[in-house]
């Protein structure tokens, strides 16, 4: 892409703030709302925050790692930033749309770039009924919870609870149990990315469950529906040879 106006956004850590100050001295910049491209300095958490910030008015985000893992980020460097932006590869991802209803009958909506998950709120396990595209697929899952991850988010929480890594172009969603007790042998499912997933919380009054879309949480839910929001296109920029597809592929080989 041909870069035009640039904005810098940094996490509150010292390394990120110092990196932002250095780049702002070297390159002309505007506010994030006015920019054609946003350069995010921090870790994966900051990248998710920036993507959420511009969810309703998406613009390309180029991350540079000033955090810990930096799976979604490029390597930090102060030189040739405009050339790097001009030569960057674009990865387009869609978020999950979560629609939840709580035990008081209130409706809640949120989007998730990585995952939507349900998690028990007390010492008691959750009891969940899972339907896909209107058909009941699991009458009762007894577990700590269940998680639905996008391909972009499959290497995050999904991987840590034993879910599969999905190539970015696989057009799949991962449905993964969190510490399943019954049925013991259910390890989850791979679903087409157009699937609509509905999860009902059984005995929600005595076994309260929270629903989370990335970092947005609603407590004491009784139903949760989620599906891919194809109307929202989020653009990540990566240096050649370090695209999100390549990073996901590398992750599968350790």
- Condensed to tens digits (0 to 9), the pLDDT of residues 158-185 reads 999 999 999 888 899 999 999 999 998 8
Per-residue pLDDT for the chain (254 aa), expressed as one digit of tens each? Answer: 455 899 999 999 999 999 999 999 999 999 999 999 999 999 989 999 999 999 988 899 999 999 877 788 999 999 999 999 999 999 899 999 999 999 999 999 999 999 999 999 999 999 999 999 999 999 999 999 999 999 989 989 999 999 999 988 889 999 999 999 999 889 999 999 999 999 999 999 999 999 999 999 999 999 999 999 999 999 999 999 777 777 777 777 76
Residue-wise pLDDT for 88-105, tens only, equals 999 899 999 999 999 999
Catalytic option among 44, 80, 102, 193: 44
Residue with tokens 């891919």, as numbered in its chain: 228
> Burial, 137: exposed, middle or buried (Cβ in 10 Å; 0-12, 13-18, 19+)?
middle
Say what the alpha-carbon torsion angle 58, 240, 155, 149 is, to the nearest 10 degrees.
30
Which residues are CB-contacts of 135 (< 8 A; sequence separation ≥ 6)?
Answer: none
Q: Residue 197: which of 252, 130, 245 has the closest Cα?
A: 130
Per-residue model confidence (pLDDT) at position 250: 76
Q: Which helix (H) or strand (E) holds 224?
A: strand 221-228
Active site residue 44: yes
End-to-end CA distance of the chain: 31
Which token pair is 44?
Answer: 């994966």
Full-model pTM: 0.88
């Amino acid at each position: 892409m041909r870069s035009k106006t640039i904005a810098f956004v940094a996490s509150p850590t010292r390394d990120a703030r110092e990196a932002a100050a250095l780049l702002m001295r070297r390159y002309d910049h505007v506010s994030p709302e006015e920019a054609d491209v946003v350069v995010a300095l921090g870790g994966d958490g900051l990248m998710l925050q920036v993507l959420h910030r511009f969810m309703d008015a998406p613009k390309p985000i180029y991350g540079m790692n000033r955090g810990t893992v930096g799976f979604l980020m490029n390597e930090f460097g102060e030189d040739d930033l405009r050339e790097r932006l001009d030569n960057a590869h674009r990865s387009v991802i869609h978020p999950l749309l979560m629609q939840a209803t709580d035990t008081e009958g209130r409706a809640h909506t949120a989007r998730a770039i990585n995952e939507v998950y349900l998690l028990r709120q007390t010492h008691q396990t959750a009891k969940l009924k899972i339907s896909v595209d209107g058909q009941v697929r699991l009458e009762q899952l007894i577990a700590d919870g269940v998680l639905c991850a996008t391909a972009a988010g499959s290497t995050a929480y999904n991987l840590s609870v034993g879910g599969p890594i999905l190539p970015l172009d696989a057009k799949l969603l991962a449905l993964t149990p969190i510490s399943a007790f019954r049925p013991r042998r259910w390890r989850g499912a791979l679903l087409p990315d157009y699937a609509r997933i509905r999860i009902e919380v059984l005995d929600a009054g005595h076994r309260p469950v929270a629903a989370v879309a990335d970092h947005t949480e609603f407590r004491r839910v009784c139903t949760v529906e989620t599906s891919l929001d194809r109307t929202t296109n989020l653009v990540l920029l990566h240096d050649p040879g370090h695209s999100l597809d390549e990073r996901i592929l590398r992750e599968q080989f350790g």
